[in-house]
Every structure is written in structure tokens, then in C-alpha cells.
Structure 1
Amino acid sequence: MERRPFLKNISIGALGASVIPAEAFSMHDGPLSQNAFKLAFAPHFGMFDTLAGPDLLDQLRFMKEAGFQAVEDNEMAKRPVEMQEEIGETMRELGLSMGVFVGHSISWNEPDLASGDDENLERFLEEIKSSIAVADRVDAKWITVVPGAKDPSLDMGYQTANVIYALKRAVQILDPYKITMVIEPLNFYDHPGMFLTGSAQAYEVCKAVGSPYCKILYDIYHQQIQEGNLISNITRCWDEIAYFQMADNPGRKEPGTGEINYANVLKFIAGKGYTGLVGMEHGVKTEGKDGELRVIEAYREIDRTL
């Protein structure tokens, strides 16, 4: 299938290290071009839809041209199989890696895995099985797992035991396919009442599951709100972290729009030898071309410090 040319009159590479103005679209000819980022930052679909257009495959091509090495998509499992296959094929052609997608339906309000309910457990395990086919289509190595809401009727110790048991069962399914579920602690402000909230708690659960296919998704945004002390907590959890995500706080937008010193945090992570993905799980502060170009430059500014 021949795709329309989606990049016209732009060359980010020609603009050097300065902030990229929207005027670049009329001032420069040729394809958008940048060297690859040093860290495998992974944008998501919709982040650059003004620049690249609404077509998901065009957005992948744009990400590659802009220097990104990966993409993540929470909604991948909900997309039609044909689209999953097209995305996977295009990513392989471009040499893009697939980041996380959500591997099951998350219970935001009702107790789920923490409850120990057999029906909840069986539904979860069936969804994990279904996620394997999705992962195969797009060459995904990680799936996000969120245990859901707490069960106020049970002591926390019982809830923890229930979650650990559910994750051990899921590991048995994923192990033959070498797919890692990354459990994500969520902050109390955006997601009140969730079972998994802190890095130490996630570390405890992963140690109890005891598998290379159950690790932590350390979302820097969530943990800044939940507990702070980022570098210290990352250090303590290091051997159980398999994936990072980021957004600035407050606002959950691109780095540089809030209080987190991402240059320092990411320099620390890179210095420890991290070669995995860093998901850009955030919105764009300013709508339109200017805002989307500013996102790219925000990551270039960090990249130059690594």
C-alpha cells in the first residue's frame, strides 16, 4: 500500500540545537532528520498527530525520522488485528522497538486481584493469554499489569498474598514466550484506592514472585507524586525494574513543564547502564505544531546531557 507523503517542507536536523520553531515547516525542504536519541524514548500514538497526521503508520514514520527508537501504545490490545499486523510490519521495516501495552482490563474501582476472587483471577489469566498473540504481532516484550483496586474488607497481608499468587500464575503463561509483565505502581492523587502504589511495595511483590518475567514498570511521574526521593528509590529497586515511563509533574506533560529534574534522573539511569525503553506517557502542553515540536526539543535538551 502506498502511503501519502506526510512530511513536507521540514528539516529538524538543519536547525541544530536550538528550539525548533513552527516556521521550520516552510523554511526547510527535505525529510525530517535527526540522529537517534541516546536513550530509547518511546512516544505514543497521538503525540505528533498534528505534525504527522492521523494515520498511525505515518506517525510511526515521523517518530523514526525524528530520532525515536521505539513506540508504546496502551491501547494496542484493543486495536483491530489487521491494524496490529500493519503496525508490527511497519515497525519492523523502520527498526522501531515496541514498548508496553496494557495486557488486561484494569479494575479502577472494584477490588480485583487483591480480592482473591476466583472469577477475577480466571478472567485476568485469560486476558494474559490473549495478550500473547498481540505481543507476537508487534514484537512486544513487555505488557503492563495493574492489579486493580484494593479490597477494604481484607487485611493488606492477605491482599498481597492474593496478588502474588495471581502474578505467579500469569508468569507460568508468559514464561514460554519470554514476555515480561511489568507491574505499575500508581499514585494516590490520580488513581486513589489502588492496591499497588509504591516502589518498595512493587519490589516486595516482584521478589516474592521471583521470576524474570515479573518486573517493575517504574513510572517516574507516579512515584514523584506518591513518594518522591526518586534516585534513591530507583537505586533500591534497580534489580527489579525492567521499564521506565515519564511525565513532568504537575500537569503530566513533557519534561521541562514541571518540577522534576529529568536531566539528572535520566543521566543517573543511563549511567547505571540502562538500555531499555523510556515511555513518554504524557500529554503535550501546547496544542498544535509548536507544542509537538517543543516536545521533541525537550527530549533533545535532555539527550544532550547524557
Structure 2
Amino acid sequence: MNSSEKVFNFFVYGVAIILILLIIYPLWFVIIASFSDPADVGSGQVWLLPNDWRLDGYVKLFEQSLFWRSYLNTVMYTVVGTLVALLVNIPAGYALSRKDLFGRKWVAIVFIIPMFVSGGLIPTYLTIKNVGLLDTFWVMVIPFAVSSYNIIVARTFFNNSIPAGLWEAAQIDGCGTIRYFISIVLPLSKAILAVIGLWTAVGIWNSWFNALIYLTNENLQPLQLILRRLLISNQLLQTQATGELASELRATADMMKYAAIVVSTAPIMMLYPLLQKYFNQGVMIGALKE
């Protein structure tokens, strides 16, 4: 390796390290801020580690009666919603990838149109109300399970990754369409299953607007909506208080804010390392090749 290549590699690695630090440090700061005194955070005294390790934010957050119930709701919505989405979108994508599907192009157009034209919030609300899903567990799972984008990505993946000869060989062995899809196609599609599953899980985990519109029962509301309500309540209390009480409420709100960010993002972020080996492959094959 000559000197010019060494300089180039040094520059590339240096830029990569800087970019990694720019991405990681904000996440790290939120974590250490959740264990720090809000006064230290506000004065800029917290950089790499807390000056005084404190758990007040987590204690205050965990003391909220609806916190654990909403956390369980979010876990259930994410698990069930992801399974339902995979059950709907993956077979639809595979069906569109089959060249023997009657009217395949027209069916694809039907899926593409909702990507650009939406029915609107009020018609959607009235539809959900009329079918009896309003203020139920399933309103967070069923109405928004179909994703045209995920179906198209899955279709492209099947077109480019599953050889047509497999279906012919399976037919010779007496394999039917459903058995072929379950026994042969799905085991070869771990990449796209992981990608679409991760996209769906992240979307459901972070969702709060649908719950705000379609859920009024507190026992059914997800974590993100409860955390939003807690933070807004603390801010309202700050505006009504004065003097030392206002300072205490502000400190409590800051501690709970950072603790809430850590608690609400940590579980879903833990999925990325487990699915990373499939993620790049699924995205590149399913979305870029044609």
C-alpha cells in the first residue's frame, strides 16, 4: 500500500468515525441525562457521565399507574400487529409476483393508488366506527395492517430472489401452491420477512396518533400516548406553579422526559442488532432490483 492509499484510507476512516460519533453521542447523552440532576444537564455540566447518578426520573415514571398497563398494550399491539401485517402483506406480495395471476397489473394498480390518494381521516373514522372496531384492541391492529409499499417491496423481492424453476420442480413433486409458498418460499425469504417485520414493528411501537383518534379507554391506550399525556400534564402544572414549586416541577418533568425517551426507545432499538444481517439484504434486493 503506497502513501496516497494510506492517506485516503486515513481520511475515509476519520470521516466514518466522526459520523459514527455524531450519531451515537446524542443517544448517549439522552441516556446519561436520564440519570443526571436536571440542573447539571441544564447548565451544561454533563458531557460523558453523570456528575451524580440519580434514578428519580425512572422512579417517578414507574410510579404512574397507567405506565405499566400502557407498556403492555404497546408490546401486544406491536407483536400482534406485526404478525398480522406479515400475514397480509407477504402473501399479497407473493401473489403479485406470480406471472400467472389473472389481471396482475390491474391488481397492482389497485394497491398503488392508496399510496398517493387517501380516503381522509373522517371517512376512515366513520368506517372504523361502523364496523365496530372503535375503542377496541383490534383498531390498532387490523385497519392499518395493509401497506401498499410493503407489498410492492415484497413483490420485487420474490421476483428477483425466488427462481421460477423452483415452482416447476415443486409441481413435478406434486406440491401445491399453498404448500410451495409455506414450505419453500417462506424459508428462502427471511430477509424480506425481517425487513418488513422491523418496519412494521417500529411504526406500531411509535404510533400515538391512531390511538389518540380511535381510543378513549385509558386501559387500551399505548405507551407513547400515555407518555405524551404525562409530559403535557407536567408542563401545565409548571405554568400554574410559581417559585420553588415551579422549579421542582420543572426538574421532575425534565427527569421524566429523558427517562421516558430511554424507556420507550430501548426495546425497539434492541431489535436492530438481531435483524441487521437480514436488513441490508432485504432492502437492496426487494427495493432496488427490478
Q: TM-score range by the shorter chain?
A: under 0.3
- Using structure 2 for the length normalisation, give the TM-score: 0.23
Larger Rg: 2
- Using structure 1 for the length normalisation, give the TM-score: 0.22
- The structure carrying a bigger helix percent of its residues is 2
- The structure carrying a bigger strand percent of its residues is 1
